[in-house]
Chains A and B, each alone.
Chain A
Amino acid sequence: MADALLEIHDCCQSFPRADGGEHLVLDHIDFQLAQGEIVGLLGRTGSGKSTLLRLIAGLARPTAGTITYLGHPIDEPPPGVSMVFQSFALFPWLTVLENVQLGLEALGLPEVEIRRRALAAIDLIGLDGYESAFPRELSGGMRQRVGFARALVVHPNILLMDEPFSALDVLTAETLRTDFLDLWGEGKLPIKGVILVTHNIEEAVLMCDRILLFSTNPARIIDDIKVDLRQPRNRLDPQFRDLVEKIYVAMTARKPAPLQVGATATINTVLPRVSANLLSGLLETVAGQPYNGKADLPVLGDELHMEVDDLFPVAESLQLLHLAEIEGGDIKLTDAGKQFAEAGMDDRKKLFQRQLLAYVPLAAHLRRVLQERANHVAPKSRFLDELEDHMTTEDAEHTLRAVTAWGRFAELYAYDDDSQTFSLENPT
């Protein structure tokens, strides 16, 4: 049994919070990367998987725990680990060839060798003919190929990929994926192991040998799924679809307590920023044909071309407002939700106001404070400070903005961004 390429043991990462406390981002992560494996880190945005990748790349140090690469602990970017970035990270003032040569120049190899290896990598990845082009002249797919060539030309042992295909359109992404898998399968890539970070469930099932599922806030590994399907994998294969469904269920089922079926939000729940348009749209879609009030989430996501990151916040918001329920990978409208879907604009607002006051304590709190004050005006900072006691500054900002948008739709209160105050009068 070959030695593990990478070992992560009991790793934790936290960042200091504004109020002096610590915000836990990664919670006791344990995993190993063996030779010849593609491991996927799958989770929603903000689930700490990118943080973990940066720890592996040596760009940051963990607060606790150890990460060893080939037996040695990582305290600076280790030689033999390369990274491909979501937005390509190419240097705009260097040509394709110069971009690819960058890593080799840093290694201090002789010029002849640098040029030979760079041209070989460019040829391998399919960029022949583009050597003297500048990144601004290339399409997204071409730019990412340059990113791959640059990462591979230094002959790394481990290739890290941070959502490499999410900035590309569907067709280009698919081409790049299959090209990569072909090269990997034929053994033409000089790498020994791959870690892929993604929020696209189908991509993970398509490419990975093992998938680690991450929960959000803080990130924990909630499941380690082995994918035994043979390459090339077919999206329409029943086993493929089963696996995708299984992952959807796993991701919706194991949520932190407040958002489980039947649970309600507290004043300090972090709210997702979902516009009223999206909420209305999803309700109408699920209420209509062919779902008639109950839909399978993977199927819904497929039809609406929405990935986990887009669909889950909307579904969770609906659950929060008791307009729908999420159960075992399905979304089911409540009576209130069905009413909403069929009502006109005025009735919708009234219904929304009722649900907001009943189930989102922060909105009720805001309104109460405004009513109690003499002139019915309160500054934003007052509520922001309250929220910052229980969550990070960023989360507090997002939550307040979310509840402002919902409150405006429900005509519960008004907000003036110039003076940064809430009030009951609209417009002031």
Chain B
Amino acid sequence: MRVFVPISVGGWVRLFSRWDVLAVLLVLGLLVFLGEASRHLFEPLAELQKQPPSLDPRHLPEYAARTTLRMLIAMLLSLLFTFTYATLAAKSKRAERLLVPLLDILQSVPILGFISITVVFFMALAPGRVLGAEFAAIFAIFTSQAWNMAFSFYQSLRTVPTELAEASSTFRLNPWMRFWRLDVPFAMPQLIWNMMMSMSGSWFFVVASEAISVGNTTVTLPGVGSYIALAIERRDLAAVWWAIGTMLVVILIYDQLLFRPLVAWADRFRFEQEAGALPPRSWMFDVLRRSRLVDRATAPFATLWRRSLQTHWFDRAAAKPDRAPRRRWVALAWTSLVVLAASAALALLVRFALAGITLSDLGLALLLGLYTLTRVVVLIALASVIWVPIGVWIGTRPRAARIFQPVAQFLAAFPANLLFPLVVSAIVVLHANPNIWLSPLMVLGTQWYILFNVIAGAAAIPAEMRAVAANLRVGGWLWWRRIALPAVFPYYVTGAITASGGSWNASIVAEVASWGDQHLEAAGLGAYIANETALGNFQHIVLGIAVMSFYVVIVNRTFWRPLYFYAERKFRLG
């Protein structure tokens, strides 16, 4: 008797593996999420007023979805910016001379300061519609993400390995093909890492930018940020806890479904094999990779992509060496253009400054800046003293490192401003001095950068070095002084630079805090900017931002950068 296996059953098994099912669920869920969230974008503003914000926790998932959508849109814009700005700076010597310092300054401007100035502009772009407010919020988030991505891409473009560049030239790849086949893949690992860091950092600004109030213009976009703002107004601690919980879940989802898969995917672009580095794993990435449905669905896109790389529009634009006289003329034109733009800016500034900013205003801003500077210095020092030893302890134990480093990254991503109401309510109840006790808020979210960088540094100490220490019985303070601290120093500096920059940003929302109708304030530049924003005094807002940028740039140039170079030169291993 012949055994007959029904073809349908066998075929069914072959068509769908469990990976396919998972992948379908995930992708469908993503599509629904995107569809629902974007449906609201084009509603008129009046609609928004009709649905008063509510503290009902049942609305939180929807609010969280909209918050996330804003961030993703901002990320796409940041990518677009990165690919154009950084490429221009890397390929053109003339553009580079202007664009790179410009980027440096932009990085130092406090992001929340940007919001104050731009929200009115964007509201005017789409009057009466929610879209204007959304633009303003998305732009704010964009400014928190784009700069370091652009820097990283620029650096990668400048350090493309010579031989690969030569191979591209000898095989006559046109500039378009070369960009997508060589430049972008080479830059991918660093770019993705920076993207993920940017997104983690911008949760803070998403939350802060959803309840914007500049003078008479008030916008509260539905989202977690405005939920918290309302909770603060109504002194609803339970609502605050709900929001924190929701955010934890959201960040967990984003970490597992976006962060880790992207980092795992970027591993294929790694140019050098680091000794002993394990490739990053992500279950979501494995799901997508092993699912044949996903493979088949994306196949036409892959072919389309490959074919698009073969366009020959750019063939005739092969780089020809300039003739010397022509080069001089173009350089002259460029320089005069820049000088013209700069003098126009100067004229604008002078007129603006003369119209209402007195010397005493400037003096006040500088003094307040000094207070905030003191706070940042003290807090970073405190955070270092606490977290560096702990970070080294964790980093030198591989099992602990595997658990705690992702945790520290997670904590760095979590928007600390959601925790502020808890601290503020405690200060109000305990009648504590805001000048001292509001300060730790500034470093609450940024101290984790120090921790996870130091963990990475400690984990990178070569095993041989530790073996030598054990063999020669080097222990106690000597071990710290001669081995551990020098080895993690470059990593520490990287983390501290980020933490310091983040703290300046945080000061705008940390030095002024309210709980219900109780208004707390610590004397400092952040409070100055926040207060002037609420009053709508544009000149003072700009003054405050300018002074804060000035401080950040000065501190960067005179302290952090030389320290970083010193650390690189003296303590780099190998």
Stretch at the interface among B6-14, B134-142, B166-174: B166-174
What are the residues of chain A within 8 A of B185 when measuring CB–CB? 91, 93
| Closest beta carbon of chain A to B572's beta carbon, Å | 13
Residues A89 and B177 in contact, CB atoms below 8 Å apart: no
Residues A89 and B570 in contact, CB atoms below 8 Å apart: no
Residues B167 and A89 in contact, CB atoms below 8 Å apart: yes
Q: Given A93-B268, A418-B570, A87–B172 Cβ distance below 8 Å?
A: no
- Count of chain B residues with a beta carbon within 8 Å of a chain A beta carbon: 29
What are the residues of chain A within 8 A of B163 when measuring CB–CB? 85-89
Stretch at the interface among A73-81, A298-306, A349-357: A73-81
Taken residue by residue from 302 to 325, chain B's Cβ proximity to chain A (1 for < 8 Å, 0 otherwise) reads as: 000010011010000010110000
| Closest beta carbon of chain A to B90's beta carbon, Å | 19
What are the residues of chain A within 8 A of B188 when measuring CB–CB? 93
What are the residues of chain A within 8 A of B172 when measuring CB–CB? 77, 79, 103, 106-107
| Distance in angstroms between the alpha carbons of A18 and B271 in the assembled complex | 33
B520 at the interface (CB under 8 A from A): no
What are the residues of chain A within 8 A of B268 when measuring CB–CB? 92-93, 134
Residues B269 and A77 in contact, CB atoms below 8 Å apart: no
What are the residues of chain B within 8 A of A418 when measuring CB–CB? 570
What are the residues of chain B within 8 A of A75 when measuring CB–CB? 320
Q: Given A93-B185, A93-B269, A418-B570, A77–B310 Cβ distance below 8 Å?
A: no
Residues A92 and B312 in contact, CB atoms below 8 Å apart: no
Among A57, A77, A108, residue most surrounded by chain B Cβ atoms (within 10 Å): A77
B182 at the interface (CB under 8 A from A): yes
Among B161, B268, B312, residue most surrounded by chain A Cβ atoms (within 10 Å): B268
Residues A105 and B170 in contact, CB atoms below 8 Å apart: no
| Closest beta carbon of chain B to A135's beta carbon, Å | 10
Taken residue by residue from 260 to 273, chain B's Cβ proximity to chain A (1 for < 8 Å, 0 otherwise) reads as: 00000000111101
Query: Using a Cβ cutoff of 8 Å, how many contacts connect chains A and B?
Result: 70
B164 at the interface (CB under 8 A from A): yes
Contact partner of B174 among A82, A94, A106, CB < 8 A?
A106
| Closest beta carbon of chain A to B542's beta carbon, Å | 44
Residues B170 and A108 in contact, CB atoms below 8 Å apart: no
Contact partner of B171 among A61, A92, A102, A134, CB < 8 A?
A102
| Closest beta carbon of chain B to A164's beta carbon, Å | 12
Contact partner of A91 among B166, B182, B310, B320, CB < 8 A?
B182
A247 at the interface (CB under 8 A from B): no
B40 at the interface (CB under 8 A from A): no
B181 at the interface (CB under 8 A from A): yes
A54 at the interface (CB under 8 A from B): yes
| Distance in angstroms between the alpha carbons of A108 and B177 in the assembled complex | 11
Residues B177 and A106 in contact, CB atoms below 8 Å apart: yes
A410 at the interface (CB under 8 A from B): no
| Distance in angstroms between the alpha carbons of A94 and B186 in the assembled complex | 11
| Closest beta carbon of chain B to A110's beta carbon, Å | 10
Residues A154 and B269 in contact, CB atoms below 8 Å apart: no
Contact partner of B312 among A76, A82, A83, A108, CB < 8 A?
A108
Residues A106 and B167 in contact, CB atoms below 8 Å apart: no
| Closest beta carbon of chain A to B200's beta carbon, Å | 25
| Distance in angstroms between the alpha carbons of A157 and B169 in the assembled complex | 17
Residues B310 and A81 in contact, CB atoms below 8 Å apart: no
Q: Given A92-B269, A93-B185, A102-B181, A154–B164 Cβ distance below 8 Å?
A: no
What are the residues of chain A within 8 A of B181 when measuring CB–CB? 91, 94, 102
Which chain A residue shows the least CB distance to B307?
Answer: A111
What are the residues of chain B within 8 A of A105 when measuring CB–CB? 177, 306, 309-310
Contact partner of A108 among B182, B269, B310, CB < 8 A?
B310
| Closest beta carbon of chain A to B568's beta carbon, Å | 14
Which chain B residue shows the least CB distance to A101?
Answer: B306
Which chain A residue shows the least CB distance to B177?
Answer: A106
What are the residues of chain A within 8 A of B309 when measuring CB–CB? 105
Which chain B residue shows the least CB distance to A99?
Answer: B167
What are the residues of chain A within 8 A of B570 when measuring CB–CB? 418
What are the residues of chain A within 8 A of B177 when measuring CB–CB? 105-106
Residues B166 and A136 in contact, CB atoms below 8 Å apart: no
| Distance in angstroms between the alpha carbons of A150 and B181 in the assembled complex | 15
Residues A77 and B169 in contact, CB atoms below 8 Å apart: yes
| Closest beta carbon of chain A to B309's beta carbon, Å | 7
List B residues 145-169 near A (Cβ within 8 Å). Answer: 161, 163-164, 166-167, 169
A222 at the interface (CB under 8 A from B): no
Residues B269 and A83 in contact, CB atoms below 8 Å apart: no
Which chain B residue shows the least CB distance to A92?
Answer: B271
What are the residues of chain A within 8 A of B320 when measuring CB–CB? 75-76
What are the residues of chain B within 8 A of A76 when measuring CB–CB? 318, 320
Residues B171 and A57 in contact, CB atoms below 8 Å apart: no
Residues A89 and B269 in contact, CB atoms below 8 Å apart: no
Residues B167 and A136 in contact, CB atoms below 8 Å apart: no
Residues B173 and A102 in contact, CB atoms below 8 Å apart: yes
What are the residues of chain B within 8 A of A108 when measuring CB–CB? 310, 312
List B residues 40-75 near A (Cβ within 8 Å). Answer: none
What are the residues of chain B within 8 A of A57 when measuring CB–CB? 166, 169-170
Task: A77-B172, A92-B269 are known; give 12 further A-B pairs, CB within 8 A.
Answer: A57-B169, A75-B320, A82-B171, A83-B167, A85-B166, A89-B161, A92-B271, A93-B268, A93-B269, A105-B306, A106-B177, A418-B570
**Contact residues of A with B, CB < 8 Å?**
54, 57-59, 61, 75-77, 79, 81-83, 85-89, 91-94, 102-103, 105-108, 134, 136, 150, 154, 418
A-B contact pairs, 30 of them (CB 8 A): A54-B166, A57-B169, A58-B170, A61-B321, A75-B320, A77-B169, A77-B170, A79-B172, A85-B166, A86-B163, A87-B163, A89-B163, A89-B164, A91-B181, A91-B182, A91-B185, A92-B268, A92-B269, A92-B271, A93-B185, A93-B188, A93-B269, A102-B173, A102-B181, A105-B177, A105-B306, A105-B309, A106-B174, A136-B273, A418-B570
Q: Which 4 A-B pairs have the closest CB atoms?
A: A89-B163, A103-B171, A89-B167, A83-B170
